[in-house]
């Protein structure tokens, strides 16, 4: 990070910052505090004789060559939150993920066949998708079934410029984080399955499924498309209706509602399968951009009568099902206390029991109609 980069993030004049940092024997504590906050570091780190050990950064798979990149303070905070959950699970949890399908990064593989076998492994049926009320309901069902296999799926809001989601790969305690910033549930679903591909590949990093500049991202996207829209079942999911080969935006929106996946993922997948003509995605993208933006980013938050949703529901939305399954017994048996659970994961003691009890109480029928709003 250059001095100019840092000054912009601190909203300071670059000359003033340079004077503080380089022109004095020791910068003022006010400046150090601002820098520490922006970089998500403790102030004492700047006074240490050696650089402290920090969690490694995440490669950015939106680049030609996935390398670490600068990220906003909010994004760094979310990464540290996810690393705290994973680190605590590695240390204490008794319920690791086992026997997950292995997705090879470079091997010649029938991706459509592998994606469908992975879908079967997670128990997500075509009937589940066809009969789901909408994309929101299908997203919750997919998330629950993925978490049932030992994968943490967390929600957090961070600038969309820093990606749609990320994965912290681990053979027993993998973590997926889905960015809730503006993404519709249909787009979140594609992000979730794209990050699942990273988990099965063992590749940690930040992604946006619709920025595909390297071979890994292209493979993960092909996996996600085949997982969510299997070739053999497209017509079943479309309820045997035949879409136009030359789709307009209404056609794409209709297909998206039937498949319960994002509009962009729908047009890409159907073009890939030859149901839409070649170039349909480019044409659709040009039209939606001319009309003001991608509809997959237009979802507004809940609200209803203005009353906030119950905390146990917002905590379930943020932390998910597997987190409750793992940490509830650890808390009950004293392997971790409420304060240390809060320090490790950010889950406040006041909400721990209500969230854990709520997550355990949900029946299969209730899951079908579960409506989880973001905090």
pLDDT by residue (tens digit) across 248-279?
Answer: 999 999 999 999 999 999 999 999 999 999 99
Question: Is there a single domain that holds both residue 117 and residue 146?
Answer: yes
CA triple 328-330-335, angle to 5 deg: 150
Q: Which of 7-21, 48-62, 76-90, 110-124 has the lowest mean pLDDT?
A: 48-62
**302 falls within a domain:** no
> What's the token pair of residue 320?
């998910």
Distance CA 370, CA 51 (A): 47
Question: Is there a single domain that holds both residue 90 and residue 158?
Answer: yes
Q: What distances in angstroms separate CA 178 from CA 78, 160, 322, 336, 374, one per listed residue?
A: 10, 11, 15, 26, 12
Q: What average pLDDT is seen over the chain?
A: 90
Give the full edge-to-edge strand order of the sheet including 175-179: 67-68, 59-60, 205-207, 165-168, 175-179, 152-156
**Between 315 and 213, the higher pLDDT residue:** 315
**375 falls within a domain:** no
Sequence-distant (≥ 6) Cβ neighbours of residue 258 within 8 angstroms: 237, 238, 239, 241
Asked if the model's pLDDT at residue 57 lies above 90, the reply is no
Question: Is there a single domain that holds both residue 78 and residue 210?
Answer: yes
Output the pLDDT for position 302: 42
CB half-sphere exposure, 198, CA atoms < 13 A? 28
Cβ-contact 36, 6 below 8 angstroms: no
**373 falls within a domain:** no
Strands 165-168 and 205-207: antiparallel
Asked if the model's pLDDT at residue 332 lies above 90, the reply is yes
**304 falls within a domain:** no
Question: Is there a single domain that holds both residue 129 and residue 187?
Answer: yes
Output the pLDDT for position 303: 42
Q: Which of 33-42, 105-114, 188-197, 355-364 has the lowest mean pLDDT?
A: 105-114
Confidence of residue 105 (pLDDT cuts 50, 70, 90): low
**Between 195 and 367, the higher pLDDT residue:** 195
Asked if the model's pLDDT at residue 142 lies above 70, the reply is yes
**341 falls within a domain:** yes
**Between 128 and 304, the higher pLDDT residue:** 128
Question: Is there a single domain that holds both residue 64 and residue 101?
Answer: yes
Question: Is there a single domain that holds both residue 279 and residue 364?
Answer: no
Question: Is there a single domain that holds both residue 204 and residue 117?
Answer: yes
Question: Is there a single domain that holds both residue 72 and residue 202?
Answer: yes
Q: Which of 155, 125, 329, 348 is nearest to 228 (CA)?
A: 125
**43 falls within a domain:** yes
pLDDT by residue (tens digit) across 180-235?
Answer: 998 999 999 999 999 999 999 999 999 998 888 888 999 999 999 999 999 999 99
DSSP 70-104: ---HHHHHHHHHHHHHHHHHHHH-S----SPPP--
Q: Which residue, of 15, 39, 54, is where some domain finishes?
A: 54
In terms of residue numbers, what domain contains 189?
58-228
Confidence of residue 352 (pLDDT cuts 50, 70, 90): very high
**Between 365 and 290, the higher pLDDT residue:** 290
Question: Is there a single domain that holds both residue 247 and residue 280?
Answer: yes
**67 falls within a domain:** yes
Confidence of residue 301 (pLDDT cuts 50, 70, 90): very low
Q: Which of 70-74, 291-295, 304-308 has the lowest mean pLDDT?
A: 304-308
- Taking the CA atoms of 167, 168, 169 and 170 in sequence, report the sign of the dihedral they define: negative
**pLDDT over 70 percentage in the chain:** 95
**207 falls within a domain:** yes
> Residue ranges of the alpha helices (H) in 104-213?
111-122, 126-131, 135-147, 185-201
Cβ-contact 142, 178 below 8 angstroms: no
Output the pLDDT for position 9: 85
In the chain, the number of structural domains is 4
The mean pLDDT value for 349-375 works out to 88
Question: Is there a single domain that holds both residue 148 and residue 207?
Answer: yes
Ramachandran area for residue 202 (φ above 0: left; ψ -120 to 50: alpha; else beta): left
Question: Is there a single domain that holds both residue 315 and residue 357?
Answer: yes
Q: Which residue, of 269, 296, 323, is where some domain finishes?
A: 296
Question: Is there a single domain that holds both residue 86 and residue 220?
Answer: yes
Cβ-contact 264, 293 below 8 angstroms: no
Output the pLDDT for position 79: 93
Q: Which residue, of 193, 210, 228, is where some domain finishes?
A: 228
């Amino acid at each position: 990070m250059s001095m100019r980069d840092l000054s912009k993030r601190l909203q300071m004049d670059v000359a003033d910052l340079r004077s503080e940092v380089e022109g004095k024997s020791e910068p003022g504590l006010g400046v150090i505090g601002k820098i520490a906050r922006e970089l998500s570091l403790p102030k004492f780190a700047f006074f240490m004789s050696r650089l402290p050990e920090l969690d490694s950064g995440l490669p950015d798979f939106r680049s030609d060559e996935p390398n670490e990149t600068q990220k906003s303070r909010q994004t760094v905070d979310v990464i540290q939150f996810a690393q705290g959950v994973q680190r605590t699970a590695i240390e204490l949890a008794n319920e690791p993920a086992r026997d997950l399908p292995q997705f090879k990064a470079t091997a010649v593989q029938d991706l459509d066949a592998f994606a469908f076998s992975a879908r079967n492994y997670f128990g997500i049926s075509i009937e589940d998708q066809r009969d789901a009320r909408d994309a929101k309901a299908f997203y919750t069902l997919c998330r629950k079934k993925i978490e049932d296999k030992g994968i943490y799926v967390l929600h957090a809001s961070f600038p969309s410029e820093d990606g749609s989601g990320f994965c912290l790969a681990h053979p027993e305690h993998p973590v997926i984080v889905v960015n809730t910033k503006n993404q519709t549930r249909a787009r979140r679903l594609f992000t979730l399955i794209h990050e699942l591909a990273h988990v099965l590949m063992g590749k940690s990093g930040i992604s946006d499924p619709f920025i595909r500049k390297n071979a890994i991202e292209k493979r993960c996207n092909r996996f996600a498309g085949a997982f969510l829209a299997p070739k053999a079942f497209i017509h079943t999911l479309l309820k045997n209706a035949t879409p136009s080969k030359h789709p307009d935006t209404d056609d794409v929106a209709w297909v998206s509602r039937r498949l319960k996946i994002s509009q962009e993922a729908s047009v890409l997948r159907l073009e890939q399968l030859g149901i839409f003509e070649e170039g349909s995605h480019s044409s659709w993208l040009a039209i939606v951009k001319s009309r003001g933006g991608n509809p997959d980013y237009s979802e507004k938050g809940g609200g209803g009568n203005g009353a906030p949703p119950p905390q146990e529901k917002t905590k379930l939305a943020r932390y998910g099902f597997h987190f409750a399954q793992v940490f509830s017994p650890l808390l009950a048996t004293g392997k971790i206390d409420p304060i240390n659970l809060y320090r490790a994961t950010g889950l406040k003691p006041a909400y721990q029991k209500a969230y854990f009890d709520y997550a355990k109480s949900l029946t299969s029928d209730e899951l079908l109609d579960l409506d989880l709003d973001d905090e």
